[in-house]
């Protein structure tokens, strides 16, 4: 399978590295930065769970004109707020029937991509796999959760294609399942993001560390309960029978070592995705007249961090 991955950050590099190691034809596209320059020179270097090390040579492009155009899948792993700008550059360079799969955080990504790419079949998913940078150019897998993918307009042809994608990802070590409920996929991943992203960005703890404290578990419970109430009001079923306990289990068993994407952004003083995560629950809660005080507080705290980087006190 020939795959173009948009985004050479931690998640894009994780997928690229594991798929390349398994023998698939992968290309990365990203804006120019230091990580990209290092990967161009030395490949994607990966540290695995048992400490083994691999160097995978993946083509990394920063100029859309360098893309070949004949990809079997475009995998979107860029920040949600960058979607429009990146796709407007890339879409003219690829075949207008190339299937697109978004595994981005938050809600609204599917609808935006469908607007930007009306001739493409757009699929959506959520993943609990996770990774982080050990240093520039060196990625470490830190979470081993499942990936779910699906279609808003399932047909026999679409389902067969999704099964092929799931088999491809699973073969590389990224366990992937096909679901027939797209909104369930989106909101189930959103619930996990609600549980950990804002909390870890504020406390500066890894996912698992944040719930070692009773206060952390209580906050996870309250944040998730509000999100679940909103989901139920929208008549969206979730993949988990007990979302609170599943989020806590994930934090203990599968994603505990991971540094959340939002904490990573805060540590590097970058714009966060708080608007499409906790902010999305606050917005939907207001529309549905459901109180979301914990998500509202988390949203405001991270927004303050987001807007005050130049004034941050780093040392006493």
Domains and CATH numbers, the chain: 2-180 (3.40.50.720), 183-307 (1.10.1040.10)
Radius of gyration of the chain (CA): 19
Token code pair at residue 181: 């409920």
Q: Which pLDDT does position 314 carry in this prediction? A: 81
Q: Which pLDDT does position 90 carry in this prediction? A: 97
- Between CA 172 and CA 175 the distance in angstroms is 8
Q: Which pLDDT does position 69 carry in this prediction? A: 77
Among 204, 292, 196, 283, which residue's Cα sits nearest to residue 243? 196
Q: 79, 163 in Cβ contact below 8 A?
A: no
Token code pair at residue 114: 């469908």
- H-helix or E-strand containing 18? helix 10-21
Q: Which pLDDT does position 222 carry in this prediction? A: 98
Q: 81, 273 in Cβ contact below 8 A?
A: yes
Among 233, 236, 238, 222, which residue's Cα sits nearest to residue 290? 233
- Give the chain's residues under pLDDT 50: none
Q: Which pLDDT does position 53 carry in this prediction? A: 83
Q: What is the pLDDT of residues 230-288, one digit of tens each?
A: 999 999 999 999 999 999 999 999 999 999 999 999 999 999 999 999 999 999 999 99
Q: 109, 123 in Cβ contact below 8 A?
A: no
- Between CA 175 and CA 23 the distance in angstroms is 17
Q: What is the DSSP string of 196-258?
A: HHHHHHHHT--HHHHTSSHHHHHHHHHHHHHHHHHHHHTT---S-SSHHHHHHHHHHHTSTTP
- Between CA 16 and CA 35 the distance in angstroms is 14
Distances in Å between the alpha carbon of 305 and those of 144, 189, 197, 240, 300? 29, 24, 13, 31, 9
């Amino acid at each position: 399978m020939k795959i173009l991955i948009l985004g050479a950050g931690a998640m894009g590099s994780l997928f690229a590295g594991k798929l390349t190691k398994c023998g698939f034809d992968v290309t990365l596209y990203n804006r120019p930065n230091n990580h990209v320059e290092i990967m161009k020179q030395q490949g994607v270097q990966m540290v695995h769970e048992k400490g083994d090390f691999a160097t995978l040579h993946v083509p990394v492009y920063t100029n859309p004109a360098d893309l070949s155009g004949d990809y079997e899948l475009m995998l979107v792993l860029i920040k949600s707020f960058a979607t429009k700008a990146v796709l407007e550059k890339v879409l003219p360079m690829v075949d207008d029937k190339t299937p697109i799969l978004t595994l981005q955080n938050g809600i609204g990504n599917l609808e935006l991509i469908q607007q930007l790419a009306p001739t493409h079949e757009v699929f959506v998913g959520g993943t609990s796999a996770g990774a982080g940078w050990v240093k520039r150019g060196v990625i470490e897998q830190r979470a081993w959760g499942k990936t779910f993918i699906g279609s808003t307009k399932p047909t026999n042809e679409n389902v067969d294609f999704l099964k092929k994608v799931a088999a491809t990802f699973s073969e590389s070590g990224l366990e992937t399942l096909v679901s027939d409920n797209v909104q369930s996929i989106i909101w189930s991943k959103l619930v996990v993001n609600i549980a950990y992203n804002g909390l870890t960005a504020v406390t500066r703890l890894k996912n698992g560390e944040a719930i070692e404290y009773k206060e952390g578990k209580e906050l996870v419970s309250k944040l998730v309960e509000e999100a679940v109430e909103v989901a139920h009001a929208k008549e969206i079923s979730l993949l988990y029978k007990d979302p609170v306990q599943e989020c806590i289990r994930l934090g203990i068993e599968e994603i505990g070592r991971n540094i959340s994407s939002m904490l990573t952004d805060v540590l590097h003083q970058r714009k966060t995705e708080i608007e499409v995560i906790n902010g999305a629950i606050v917005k939907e809660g207001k529309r549905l007249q459901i109180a979301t005080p914990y998500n509202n507080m988390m949203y405001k705290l991270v927004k303050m961090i987001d807007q005050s980087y130049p004034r941050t006190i780093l040392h006493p």
